[in-house]
């Protein structure tokens, strides 16, 4: 029995209280972000789902690396906290590598 889960991207709300009175000339359809569960052991992801996930993971990793760098520059920060922050960023790197491997496997 196959099961399919679909996520749809929504546009981000406008900041600064701007209200959109005019619709764009050509409205862009949201991409379907799918995760397909074909069998109990096989899971496949649509290319847009992988792209979206990879983009968010890379942004998160960038923020984590900046935080670790800021922590290491400050005085009085316990070395264990800095090492833990770096270890978490390294773990995220491994997750990003898995996403890239899945993209390559699917030929996305």
Question: pLDDT tens digit string along 16-72?
Answer: 555 455 555 567 676 666 667 666 677 777 888 889 999 999 999 999 999 999 999
pLDDT at residue number 102: 87
90 belongs to a structural domain: yes
The pLDDT of 61-85, averaged and rounded, is 93
How is the beta sheet containing 43-45 ordered, strand by strand?
Answer: 3-8, 32-37, 43-45
pLDDT at residue number 1: 44
pTM, to two decimals: 0.61
100 belongs to a structural domain: yes
Q: Computed from CA positions of residues 5, 56, 94, 101, in that sequence, does the dihedral angle turn out positive or negative?
A: positive
20 belongs to a structural domain: no
Question: What span, in angstroms and rounded, lies between the C-alpha atoms of 53 and 96?
Answer: 9
**E strands in the chain:** 3-8, 32-37, 43-45
3 belongs to a structural domain: no
17 belongs to a structural domain: no
Which residue segment(s) compose the domain that 39 sits in?
31-106
48 belongs to a structural domain: yes
Domain count, the chain: 1
12 belongs to a structural domain: no
């Amino acid at each position: 029995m196959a099961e399919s889960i679909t996520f749809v991207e929504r546009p981000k709300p406008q900041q600064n209280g701007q209200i959109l009175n005019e619709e764009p000339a050509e409205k862009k359809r949201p991409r379907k972000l799918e995760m397909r569960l074909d069998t109990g052991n096989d899971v496949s992801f649509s290319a847009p789902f992988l792209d979206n996930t990879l983009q968010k993971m890379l942004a998160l990793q960038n923020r984590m690396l900046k935080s670790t760098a800021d922590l290491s520059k400050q005085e009085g920060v316990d070395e264990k906290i800095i090492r833990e922050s770096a270890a978490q960023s390294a773990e995220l790197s491994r997750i990003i590598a898995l996403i890239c491997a899945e993209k390559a496997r699917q030929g996305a």
